[in-house]
Amino acid sequence: MPLLAERKFRRTAARRRQSSGSRQRAVSAQARRSFSFRLFLLPVSGRQRPLGPMSRRALRRLRGEQRGQEPLGPGALQFALHDDDDAEEEGPKRGTGGRRPRGAGKEGVCVNNRFELINIEDLEEGPVLNGERPECLLTGNRRRSQSGGADAKKAGEMAGKAAPPEQSNISGKLRKKKKKQKNKKNTTGEILENGLEDIDRLLERIEDASGLSRPGPPPPRSKKHPPYVELRHLNPDTELKRYFGARAVLGEQRPRQRQRVYPKCTWLTTPKSTWPRYTKPGLSMRLLESKRGLSFFAFEHSEEYQQTQHKFLAAVESMEPNNIVVLLQTSPYHVDSLLQLSDACRFQEDQEMARDLVERALYSMECAFHPLFSLTSGTCRLDYRRPENRSFYLALYKQMSFLEKRGCPRTALEFCKLILSLEPDEDPLCMLLLIDHLALRARNYDYLIRLFQEWEAHRNLSQLPNFAFSVPLAYFLLSQQADLPEQELSSAREQASLLIRQALTMFPGALLPLLEYCSVRPDAAVATHSFFGPDAEISQPPALSQLVSLYLGRSHFLWKEPATMSWLEENVREVLRAVDSGDPAVEACESRRKVLYQRAPRNIHRHVVLSEVKEAVAALPPDVTTQSVMGFDPLPPLDTIYSYVRPERLSPVSHGNTIALFFRSLLPNYTMEGERLEAGGAGGLNHNQGLNRLMLAVRDMMANFHFHDVEAAREDNPEGDGEWD
């Protein structure tokens, strides 16, 4: 009995303890719920509506606290960097209270500033302890200079002795880990380098076998200023926005761009919705070869395009623009037809239509670009000796001329640099005679000065009158700017005076015509002097007179400013003093003028024809003015490279029938079929057919005759015009 009573007592005591414990847990849970899920009653339209549980942010706002104002403990800003590789060796470690903290079992490095965690490489090289990095870990850093190596080692040994064992263990582990990573990187890097070397060797063998090389960046050469092109300056809207604002320029273009159906994005022109729908006309581009870092391309004509080209040449020979219009109805993107018709519209003073046709031609050629052809690399070349490439040169030149007349000199300068970059050594359109003028108009003085400084050594730009006068003018205009330091302004003024004196000494015949263009009467001492007088202009060679006329007819208005004229007058007097004193440079310049300017090359004549400057065109030699000049191909090179030949036309010979020659002089379209065939041959046509064609031509000619009734004119005006007595 006593044993049973004892067991019963123990059971009741255990039950009591269980019930009291469950009660305490229920009370604590209820207290927590009541603390975290408080209900607030807010007055809403005369009633009180219970709201849901409030967040911590709402509680902070209610208490008037802000985030980040909580008191921080001594270890609140300390972070640990743990080493995963060494965690398994040390085993688990427990924190205070018997609980395992986050990241337990991993050795950590304390960091007081959390922004130090950004630079991972520095943390790998050495841990930050209490905001400082031990010097013993900094001695092995390769980024430090080698001059202080011995001092750093001594400081490292002293710091290593004073450091606690935990820090030394941490640094040793980090060093081991860094060595492992370096070994891995070295092995993978060696494998990649070996693989790349093998690939390069294979490619070199293939290129040597085929004789072609891939187009790539040019090899490192001597520093020459390339005529680099910026794509954003090829769009005239960019320059017009700077003058008038984007709203004025793009106000009418935005709704049109939404309806545009042209899929290809172009840089040279913006296609218009009024143009015919683009279909490939048979024009393409291929890569000829790549050598010495340069890629040589050429346009190609398909068989269909060649047939269209033959029709175009026949239409040009007919001297009838309507035939070109008919051809464009069937081939709306034939480049030469667009350029020739653009010239016809320009002669009729329809500038808008002429510019639209040139833009359409540029769009057609840009759609045919090779994927590797780049406008900005400066390494892509187009040989002007190929007739297929000339259309691109001429289209760019005509577009540049329209942009200059439109008031966009900065965009025109970019097109000029693009033309020069296509073949800078030969310069088939002689853009060096124009680039200085556009740079001055665009107020891009730095570019002109830099071009002169870097190309003078191998191109002798100072021997061209336009560069000889434009570069000192650029220096002078640069010295007039107020936003430059005083030292730069004075050096630019000195350089301008030095160069303009050299130009006046080399080209004395340009002074009086320049003053005449600017409506300035020269001083009597200058006008009557033998060095600057009329004899200087007459005695210079014809080729030099042509270059001077071209420059003055194009750029004389840049010298009309009063400040520029006063600066020019000062330097003219200095040159006269040097001439009177017998400076040997005067005789040296005179001898060079007689030797250098014997005859102008063909590209200068081609540039003069395209420029249409009246004074320069009048100075062309007779052998150029007597030959026929076609607008779509002015003065073609003598060493032209033809890819296909035009078939011989069935045109009459010069010693044909006299009557046929007479009607042909009246009607250029008239031809007699079979006239080239031998009389009485098996393939000859019936003579009656030729006579019928001749009669039709006569009827056509007679129908176009208009006779004026002289008696009717006298009756209308019986007193006469008053010109005769």
> Tens digits of per-residue pLDDT, 556-587?
999 999 999 999 999 999 999 999 998 899 99
pLDDT band at 66 (very low <50, low <70, confident <90, very high): low
What is the predicted pLDDT for the residue at 440? 96
Helix (H) or strand (E) holding 364: helix 351-366
The rounded distance, in Å, linking the Cα atoms of 22 and 419 is 94
Tell me the β-bridge partners of 299: 285
Cα separation, 144 vs 147, in Å, equals 9
Average pLDDT, integer, range 390-404: 96
If pLDDT is split at 50, 70 and 90, which confidence band does 87 have?
very low
pLDDT average, residue stretch 592-604 = 91
Give the pLDDT mean for 327-345. Answer: 94
* DSSP for 380-404, written as a single string: EEE-TTSHHHHHHHHHHHHHHHHHH
Of 255 and 238, more confident: 238
Specify the DSSP class assigned to residue 559: G
Q: pLDDT at residue 511 above 80?
A: yes
**pLDDT, tens digit, 9 for 90 and up, residues 656-686:** 455 655 655 555 545 554 444 444 443 344 4
pLDDT at 487 over 80: yes
pLDDT, residue 240, reads 85
Nearest alpha-carbon partner for 228 in 444, 75, 387, 386: 444
- H or E element at residue 192: helix 165-210
What per-residue confidence (pLDDT) applies to 673? 46
| Mean pLDDT, residues 94-112 | 46
Backbone angles phi, psi at 384, to 5 degrees: -70, -15
Measured between alpha carbons, how far is 531 from 539 in angstroms, rounded to an integer? Answer: 11
pLDDT at 282: 93
What is the pLDDT at residue 667? Answer: 54
Token match 């993107």: residue?
Answer: 333
Check pLDDT > 60 for residue 406. yes
Task: Give the model's confidence band at 228: pLDDT under 50 very low, under 70 low, under 90 confident, else very high.
Answer: confident
d(CA 182, CA 654): 87
pLDDT in tens, 421-447: 999 999 999 999 999 999 999 999 999
Share of residues in the chain with pLDDT > 90 (%): 41
Question: What is the reported pLDDT for 202?
Answer: 55
Top pLDDT among 96 and 666 is at 666
In 3D space, the residue among 131, 127, 123 whose CA is nearest the CA of residue 167 turns out to be: 127
pLDDT over 70 at 62, yes or no = no
pLDDT at 257: 47
Res 496: pLDDT: 95
Residues 669, 318 contacting (CB under 8 angstroms): yes
Task: Label residues 186-218 b or e (16+ Cβ within 10 Å = b).
Answer: eeeeeeeeeeeeeeeeeeeeeeeeeeebebeee
pLDDT (tens digit per residue) in 492-502: 999 999 999 99
pLDDT on residue 434: 96
The answer to whether the CB of 511 falls within 8 A of the CB of 526 is yes
CA pair distance 462, 503, nearest whole angstrom:
8
Q: 426 with 384: CB under 8 angstroms?
A: yes
What pLDDT was estimated at residue 26?
60
91: left (phi over 0), alpha (psi -120 to 50) or beta: left
The band of 55, judged by pLDDT with boundaries at 50, 70 and 90, is low
Q: What's residue 204's pLDDT?
A: 55
The predicted model gives 153-180 an average pLDDT of 49
Please report the DSSP string for 479-527 in residue order. Answer: HT-TTS-HHHHHHHHHHHHHHHHHHHHH-GGGHHHHHHHTT-PPPHHHH
pLDDT band of residue 722 (cuts 50, 70, 90) is very low
pLDDT band at 537 (very low <50, low <70, confident <90, very high): confident
Q: What is the pLDDT at residue 632?
A: 87
Which pLDDT does position 107 carry in this prediction? 45
Q: At 219, is the pLDDT very low, low, confident or very high (cuts 50, 70, 90)?
A: very low
359 class by beta-carbon count within 10 Å (0-12 exposed, 13-18 middle, 19+ buried): buried
How high is the mean pLDDT of the chain?
74
Sheet holding 380-382, edge to edge: 283-291, 294-301, 380-382
CB 416 within 8 A of CB 438: yes
Residue with the two structure tokens 């490619």: 203
Beta carbons of 404 and 416 less than 8 angstroms apart:
no
Integer CA distances (angstroms), 75 to 70, 71, 110, 374, 587, in order = 14, 12, 9, 61, 89
Read off the pLDDT band of 331 (50, 70, 90): very high
CB 505 within 8 A of CB 578: yes
Residue-wise pLDDT for 303-313, tens only, equals: 999 999 999 99
DSSP state of 226: -
Q: For residues 466 and 510, give the distance between their C-alpha atoms in angstroms, rounded to a whole number.
A: 10
Residue 205 has pLDDT above 70, yes or no: no
Query: Which residues make beta-bridge pairs with 339?
Result: none
Q: In the predicted model, what is the mean pLDDT of residues 166-178? A: 51
In the structure encoding, which two tokens stand for residue 301, read together?
């004509």
Q: Under 8 Å CB-to-CB from 361, ≥6 apart: which residues?
A: 333, 335, 338, 339, 342, 391, 395
| Residue 11: other Cβ atoms inside 10 A | 10
On the question of pLDDT at 263 being above 60, the answer is: no
Q: What pLDDT was estimated at residue 623? A: 87
Instruction: For residue 333, give the nearest of 299, 368, 303, 374 by alpha carbon.
Output: 368
Token pair 């943390």 is at which residue? Answer: 123
pLDDT of 523 above 80: yes
Q: Which two tokens stand for residue 370?
A: 């090779």
User: Which of 174-178, 447-451, 678-682 is predicted least confidently?
Assistant: 678-682
187 has a pLDDT exceeding 60:
no
CA–CA gap between residue 441 and residue 681 (Å, rounded): 67
Q: Are the C-beta atoms of residues 652 and 672 closer than 8 Å to each other?
A: yes
Place 209 in a pLDDT band, splitting at 50, 70 and 90: low
Q: Where does residue 311 fall: left (phi above 0), alpha (psi -120 to 50 degrees), or beta otherwise?
A: alpha
Q: Is the pLDDT of residue 516 over 60?
A: yes
User: How large is the average pLDDT for residues 275-280?
Assistant: 90
Strongest mean pLDDT among 125-129, 560-564, 645-649: 560-564
Rounded CA-CA distance 174/120 in Å is: 12
- Answer with the residue of higher pLDDT: 173 or 598: 598
Residue 203 has what pLDDT?
Answer: 52
Whether the per-residue pLDDT at 390 is higher than 50: the answer is: yes
Q: What pLDDT was estimated at residue 198?
A: 57
- Tokens 């015919």 correspond to what residue? 276
Query: What span, in angstroms and rounded, lies between the C-alpha atoms of 206 and 707?
Result: 78
pLDDT at 142 over 60: no
CB atoms within 10 A of CB 358: 28
Residue with tokens 């290129």: 207
- Indicate if the pLDDT at residue 213 is higher than 50: no
Parallel/antiparallel/unpaired status of strands 380-382 and 294-301: parallel
